[in-house]
């Protein structure tokens, strides 16, 4: 196994482009090292991106948008008061990952690129409209989070491409987001269903919404019908029922050791309602 710790993303990209066999980037390593030790994936090339300047920075840009380095950890995000105020849903989704120890290592980018349909931060990022900067042999492009995963364990990144930053839009006024997941226990478990909701209000009326579902299809879903169900409403019971119905209709889950098709489909609707209510309350400036 070859281990590299490049000083720039261009260098990381070149190393990956020229590597043969199985290549992995090493962010927090909470997926990579676990898979290595359990012999699921034994990389031939390991490219540690944590030595690149600025990878742990969390920056609020002049326009209110955020740029997160790809090695910024869950713990660093939760401890960032301003980020937590702007995007509580994204932060709480990341904070659900693993234990205190895992929080000290795990990253948004690792969670996204590991490609699990059940990844907790991904529906929250999709709902929030997050994009990532992708650096490759031909330069850097910006890609919406929902366009990265292509199936369990698979991403749209091509050989030699590495994510170099996470871009979260400006929150703006009268807006809120939330993420909820279902697990049979209270922590240290993997989402059976995950729902991210982000919305904006004009008075009591929802004017913008993005709803994303996790663990109910081969990739995290951005569900337009869910957004339509609540846009223009005051999140009244009828709108919530329509939201739940749209969420359940969008599900294309599997039966597995973690949950049945019927269960996931039903609970996606339940959680969509609950997450929407929280996002709505947050948009109104209420504590939720």
Partner 1 sequence: MALDDRKTDFTFVGTRPNRPDGLDKVTGRAKFGADMSAPGMLHGAILRSPHAHARIVKIDTSKAEALKDVKAVVTRADFADVPFKPGLAGEFWNVLENVMAGEKALYDGHAVAAVAATSALAARDALKLIEVEYEVLPHVTDVDKAMAPDAPVIREGAADYSVPEGMHPNVVRYHESGHGDVDAGFAEADLVLEDSFVTEATHQGYIEPHACLGLLGNDGKGELWCTTQGHWIAQKTCAALLGIETSQLRVTASEIGGGFGGKTTVFIEPVALALSRKANRPVKLVMTRSEVFRATGPTASASMDIKIGMKKDGTITAARGEFRLQGGAFPGAPGDMTAMCAFAAYNLTNVKQIGYDVMANRPKQAAYRAPGAPMGAFAVESVIDEMCNKLGLDPIEVRLKNAAHEGTKASYGPRYERIGLVETLEAAKAHPHYSAPLKPGQGRGVSCGFWFNHGGETSVTLALSEDGSAQLMVGTPDIGGSRASMALMAAEVLGIPYENIRVTVADTATLGYNDVSHGSRVTYASGLATIKAARHAVEKLCERAAAKWDIPVEAVKWENGCAVPSGPNAGDFDPMPLADITAKMGRTGGPISGHFEATPEGAGVSFGTHIVDAEVDPETGKTTITRYTVIQDAGKAIHPTYVEGQFQGGAAQGIGWALNEEYIYGEDGRLQNSIFLDYRIPVASDLPMIDTVIVEVPNPGHPFGVRGVGETGIVPPLAAIANAVSNAAGVRMKQLPMSPPRILAALKDNG
28 binds ligand FAD (CB under 6 A): yes
Choice from 13, 15, 19, 31 touching ligand FAD (CB under 6 A): 31
Chosen from ligand FAD, partner 1, none, partner binding at 113 (C-beta under 5 to 8 Å by type) = ligand FAD
Closest CA to 14 of 138, 126, 123: 138
Among 11, 189, 208, 225, binds partner 1 (CB under 8 A): 189
Stretch that binds partner 1, among 47-55, 63-71, 177-185, 220-228 (CB under 8 A): 177-185
Selected range binding ligand FAD among 29-37, 80-88, 216-224, 247-255, rule: CB under 6 A: 29-37
Sorted by sequence, the CB contacts under 8 Å of residue 8 that are 6+ apart come out as 52, 53
Site for partner 1 in 222-281 (CB under 8 A): 256-260, 262-263, 266-267, 270
> Restricting to residues 181-200, which ones interact with ligand FAD according to CB under 6 A?
190
* Residue 96 binding result from partner 1, ligand FAD, none, given CB thresholds of 5 to 8 Å by partner type: ligand FAD
Q: Alpha carbon 130 to chain centroid distance?
A: 8
Nearest to 47 by CA among 23, 17, 14: 23
Three-state SS sequence of 109-157: HHHHHCCCCCCCHHHHHHHHCCEEEEEECCEEEEEEHHHCEEECCEECC
The pairing of beta strand 193-202 with beta strand 58-60:
unpaired
Residues between 154 and 183 that touch ligand FAD (CB under 6 A): 157, 162-163
Q: Which does 39 bind (CB under 5 to 8 A by kind): partner 1, ligand FAD, none?
A: partner 1
- Tell me how far apart the alpha carbons of residues 74 and 28 are, in angstroms, rounded to a whole number: 10
Q: Does 1 bind ligand FAD (CB under 6 A)?
A: no
């Amino acid at each position: 196994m070859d281990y590299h710790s490049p000083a720039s993303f261009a260098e990381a990209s070149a190393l990956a482009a020229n590597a043969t066999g199985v290549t992995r980037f090493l962010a927090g390593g909470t997926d990579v090292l676990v898979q290595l030790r359990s012999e699921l994936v034994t990389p031939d090339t390991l490219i540690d991106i944590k030595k690149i300047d600025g990878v742990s920075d969390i920056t609020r840009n002049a326009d209110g948008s955020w740029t997160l380095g790809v090695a910024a950890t869950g713990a660093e995000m939760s401890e960032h008061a301003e980020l937590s105020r702007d995007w509580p849903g994204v932060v709480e989704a990341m904070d659900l990952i693993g234990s205190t120890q895992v929080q000290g290592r795990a990253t948004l980018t690792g969670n996204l690129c590991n490609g699990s349909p059940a990844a907790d931060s991904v529906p929250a990022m999709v709902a929030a409209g997050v994009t990532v900067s992708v650096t490759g042999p031909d330069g850097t492009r910006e890609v919406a989070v929902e366009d990265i995963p292509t199936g369990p364990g698979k991403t749209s990144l091509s050989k030699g491409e590495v994510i170099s930053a996470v871009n979260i839009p400006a929150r703006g006024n009268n807006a809120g987001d939330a993420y909820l997941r279902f697990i049979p226990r209270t922590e240290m478990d993997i989402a059976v269903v995950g729902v991210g909701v982000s919305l904006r209000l004009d008075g009591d009326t929802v004017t913008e919404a993005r709803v994303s579902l996790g663990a109910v299809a081969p990739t995290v879903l951005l569900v337009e019908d869910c957004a339509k169900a609540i846009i223009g409403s005051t999140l009244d019971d009828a709108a919530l029922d329509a939201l739940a119905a749209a969420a359940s209709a969008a599900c294309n889950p599997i039966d597995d050791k973690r949950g049945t098709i019927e269960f996931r489909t039903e609970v996606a609707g339940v959680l969509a309602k609950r997450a929407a209510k929280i996002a709505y309350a947050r948009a109104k400036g209420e504590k939720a």
